[in-house]
Amino acid sequence: MKTWSSSSDVSIFLVLVFFSFFLAPELVFGSCVASPEYARHPPGSVIFTEHERSNSQPQQVHISLVGSDHMRISWVTNRNEAPSIVEYGKTPGKYESSTIGNHLQYEYFSYRSGEIHHVKIGPLEPSTTYYYKCSGAEPEFSFRTPPANLPIEFVVVGDLGQTDWTASTLEHVDQEDYDVFLLPGDLSYADTQQPLWDSFGRLVEPYASKRPWMVTEGNHEVESFPIIFPKGFEAYNARWLMPYEESGSTSNLYYSFDVAGTHIIMLGSYTDYEKDSEQYLWLQADLAEIDRSRTPWIFVLLHAPWYNSNAAHKGEGEAMRKAMEELLYNARVDVVFAGHVHAYERFTRVYDNTADPCGPVYITIGDGGNREGLAMKFENPAPAISMYREPSFGHGRLRVIDERTAYWAWHRNNESDSIVADELSLQSLSTSEICMQNGENHDEL
Ligand SMILES: [Fe+2]
C-alpha cells in the first residue's frame, strides 16, 4: 500500500478533494452532537493499494454466496490467457475439485479493465474451510462456508471507501470471527477513476477472499455518463456480480438470498422502484415466497435511508420509502439497514414515520471510513423514533442466535480499538403472535 505520491495519483487526489468538498458540505458547516468524551476524527487519507503480483497471478479476489451450497469466486488478471479456473479442496495444497467459469472485460473511456473472472464452485459443505487457487497460479487462498443453520454472525459496513479509516474498520472487523459480510452500498469511491476500483479490490482482498461479501449498490457505483454510459454501473456490474439470477431478479442491482435461517434482500436505491417497476414486482414476488418456518428472519439492505435525522441526504430515500415501505411492513421484515449518511443512527420499530411494534428496526450504518468523512449535523431535538445516533466511523455485527433472538452491536472505531457504543437485543417478528396474526392490517394493532 502507499499514500499518494506520483503526479497522476496527485491529480486524482485533487479531483477527489474537490468532489469531497461539494458532496459533503456538512463537513465544513456542520455541528457535532455526539457524546462529549469522544473526539471526532477528520476524514482519512485515500490509500492506493498497488498491484504487486505478476500479470498472470490473481488479484482482487473476492467471494460471494450463490444458492445454498455454492460460492462464486471473482478475481482479476492482467494477462488475457490466464484461465478462468478455480481449483479447491479441504486440505492446503491438495485440490480434489476444479471448476471452469468465464471472464469479461469492460471499457470506460480510455480505461480497459483486466480480465475479470467469475467461477461458481460447489456443492460445498457448510461450516467448512476450503483452500483454493485461481487461474492455476499462486497464492493459495482459503474461505469458510457459512453454517447451514443458526446461529450465524453477519458484519454490516456501509460506505466503505479506501482510506486509512477503511483500513482500521476492516482490521477491527477481522479481530472477531464472523460468517458473512454485508455492504449496503458505496464500495470503492472510484467515482469514474477506474484504477481506484482495482485499488479497492486489492485493499479488501485479504478480507473478501475468506468470507463472502454480499453487496448492493450506492450512488458512488452509478458512474453514468450521458449517451456513452446512460445506464451506468459498468464497473460495479462487471466486478461485483451478485446472485441475482438465482433469486429471479433480472438485474444485478437487486436480489435476495437465504443463509442459515435468514432471508436477506438487497434492494437498489438507484434503479426504478415505483409500483409498476420490475424491482417492485420482483420484491413483491420474493416476499410472497418466504417461508418463515424455514427462514424466520428477514433483513433488507439498501443505500439511501428511509429514516434519517441527519442533515446529510435528508429526504433522499423518501420516494422509495413511499413506494415500498408497505411491502416490507406487511411481510414483517425484521431490520432494514442503509448507508449513504456517514454516521450511525438506529431507529425503533417504525411504520410510516410512527413507532410500530410490527415494523422493521431501521439502522443507518454509512460510516465505514470513506474519504468524504463524517456527517456531523443531526437535527435537534432528535425525532421520537430515533433511539441512538452518532457521527463516528465503525462497523456493526448482527449475531442471529436462534429463530427468536438476535443481538446487534455497533462498534465505533476508537483510535486503535473497536468499542461497542450501541447494542440491542432483537426478537424476530416471525415469533410475535400479534404481528403475525394481524398480517397485513396495521390499523388493528
Ligand atoms: Fe452514498
Domain boundaries, the chain: 152-444
| Average model confidence (pLDDT) across the chain | 90
Residues 62-87 as b/e (b if ≥16 CB within 10 A, e otherwise) read bbbbbebebbbbbbbbbeeebbbbbb
Q: For residues 269 and 304, is the Cβ–Cβ distance under 8 A? A: yes
CA of 139 to the centre of ligand 1 (A): 34
CA of 366 to the centre of ligand 1 (A): 8
How long is the chain? 445
* CATH classification code of 152-444: 3.60.21.10
Q: What is the pLDDT of residue 11?
A: 46
Rounded CA separation 109/229 (Å): 10
Reported as a single tens digit per residue, the pLDDT across 196-242 is 999 999 999 999 999 999 999 999 999 999 999 999 999 999 999 99
CA of 341 to the centre of ligand 1 (A): 7
CA of 255 to the centre of ligand 1 (A): 19
What is the number of alpha carbons within 13 Å of residue 344 lying toward its C-beta? Answer: 24
Rounded CA separation 318/336 (Å): 14
Rounded CA separation 317/72 (Å): 31
Q: What is the pLDDT of residue 417?
A: 78
Q: For residues 221 and 231, is the Cβ–Cβ distance under 8 A? A: no
Q: What is the pLDDT of residue 439?
A: 59
CA of 220 to the centre of ligand 1 (A): 6
Q: Would you call 283 exposed, middle or buried from its count of C-beta atoms within 10 A (0-12, 13-18, 19+)?
A: buried
Q: For residues 242 and 255, is the Cβ–Cβ distance under 8 A? A: yes
Residue with more model confidence, 373 or 106: 106
Long-range pairs for 98-106 at CB < 8 Å and ≥24 separation?
A: 101/73, 104/238, 105/238, 106/234, 106/235, 106/238
Q: For residues 255 and 238, is the Cβ–Cβ distance under 8 A? A: no
Report the range of poorest mean pLDDT among 292-306, 326-340, 401-415: 401-415
Rounded CA separation 195/246 (Å): 30
Q: What is the pLDDT of residue 23?
A: 36
| 19 phi/psi in degrees, rounded to 5 | -65, -35
Q: What is the pLDDT of residue 256?
A: 98
CA of 74 to the centre of ligand 1 (A): 24
Q: What is the pLDDT of residue 441?
A: 47
Rounded CA separation 148/107 (Å): 39
Peptide bond into 206 cis (omega under 30): no
What is the number of alpha carbons within 13 Å of residue 190 lying toward its C-beta? Answer: 25
Number of other residues whose CB lies within 10 A of the CB of residue 294:
9
CA of 280 to the centre of ligand 1 (A): 21
Reported as a single tens digit per residue, the pLDDT across 337-394 is 999 999 999 999 999 999 999 999 999 999 999 888 898 899 999 999 999 999 999 9
Q: What is the pLDDT of residue 48?
A: 95
Q: What is the pLDDT of residue 4?
A: 35
Q: Which residues fall inside 5 Å of ion ligand 1, going by CB?
A: 186, 218-219, 340
Rounded CA separation 373/30 (Å): 12
Q: Would you call 56 exposed, middle or buried from its count of C-beta atoms within 10 A (0-12, 13-18, 19+)?
A: middle
In this structure, the dihedral spanned by the alpha carbons of residues 132, 134, 136 and 139, taken in order and rounded to 10 degrees, is -70
Q: For residues 398 and 154, is the Cβ–Cβ distance under 8 A? A: yes
- Return the active site residues: 313
Q: How far is CA 20 from CA 15, 23, 25, 430, in A?
A: 9, 5, 8, 43
Q: What is the pLDDT of residue 8?
A: 43
C-alpha 355: how far from its chain's center? 26
Query: Considering only CA atoms, which of 168, 191, 229 is closest in space to residue 413?
Result: 168
Q: Give me the mean pLDDT over the 252-278 stretch.
A: 98
Reported as a single tens digit per residue, the pLDDT across 436-445 is 986 554 444 4
Q: For residues 184 and 304, is the Cβ–Cβ distance under 8 A? A: no
Three-state SS for 241-255 is: CCCCHHHCCCCCCCE
Rounded CA separation 78/154 (Å): 33
CA of 348 to the centre of ligand 1 (A): 23
Amino acid letter at 91?
A: T
Q: Give me the mean pLDDT over the 154-180 stretch.
A: 96
Residue 133 has pLDDT above 50, yes or no: yes
CA of 185 to the centre of ligand 1 (A): 7
Query: Which are the contacts of 188, defined by CB distance < 8 A and separation ≥ 6?
Result: 160, 161, 162, 196, 197, 199, 200, 201, 220
Q: What is the pLDDT of residue 21?
A: 34
CA of 306 to the centre of ligand 1 (A): 13
CA of 136 to the centre of ligand 1 (A): 37
CA of 371 to the centre of ligand 1 (A): 12
Residue 401 has pLDDT above 70, yes or no: yes
Q: Give me the mean pLDDT over the 38-58 stretch.
A: 84
Reading phi first (left if > 0) and then psi (alpha if -120 to 50, else beta), residue 395 is in beta
Residues 202-224 as b/e (b if ≥16 CB within 10 A, e otherwise) read bbbbebbbbbbbbbbbbbbbbbe
Q: Would you call 164 exposed, middle or buried from its count of C-beta atoms within 10 A (0-12, 13-18, 19+)?
A: middle
Q: What is the pLDDT of residue 236?
A: 98
Model confidence at 41, in pLDDT bands (50, 70, 90)?
Answer: low
